[in-house]
Amino acid sequence: MTPLFPFVCLAHAIETLAMKHVFVVEDGHAEQKMIEALLKQAGFQVTLSSSVDEAWDKLQSGSPPDLFVLDIVMPGKSGLELCRTIRENEQLQDIPVVFCSSKSEEFDRFWAMRQGAQAYLVKPYAPKELLDVVYQHVK
């Protein structure tokens, strides 16, 4: 342990505080890993959830994130449902939501945006696409 350890810790804490927080709800393991890795590489703090209920529990306890990345089709409640819940919540309603879904039809995009999302990515997407969208919408 170096004598600089407290400063390192402090610096790390400040960095963590300054990092933008992205909340990801995605049931696919590989997709989770990819989104997490991409966002972390780009300097974001990432919280992962595999289902809407788990996500909602986490949101109740933690501080509100800066952006949501949501899958749509998941076991249990859908990402659309979570998006509606987020938009009805006073603390979360202004946080941007990005959907990443394999539902590729134009109507799917229309409907997802109608639920209050800011962007809609169709899977599979290029890593840069995700990062561009996240950069564009994160506050």
The minimum distance between CB 53 and other proteins, in angstroms, equals 13
CB 75 within 8 A of CB 51: yes
**Tokens read off for 56:** 């909602």
Report the interface residues with other proteins, using CB under 8 A.
28, 30-31, 33-34, 37-38, 41-43, 72-73, 78, 80-81, 84, 103-111, 114, 119-129, 131-133, 135-136
**Nearest distance, CB of residue 31 and other proteins, angstroms:** 6
Which residue, 65 or 79, has its beta carbon nearer to other proteins? 79
3-state secondary structure of 82: helix
Of the two residues 54 and 81, which places its CB atom closer to other proteins in the complex?
81
Least separation in angstroms between CB 89 and other proteins? 15
> Whose Cβ is closer to other proteins: residue 3's or residue 139's?
139
Structure tokens at 40: 């972390």
Number of H helices, E strands in the chain: 6, 5
Rounded to whole angstroms, the maximal C-alpha distance in the chain is 59
CB of 84 to other proteins, least distance (A): 6
Query: SS3 of 45, please?
Result: strand
Q: At 46, which helix (H) or strand (E)? A: strand 44-49
Q: Which is nearer to other proteins, 43 or 62 (CB)?
A: 43
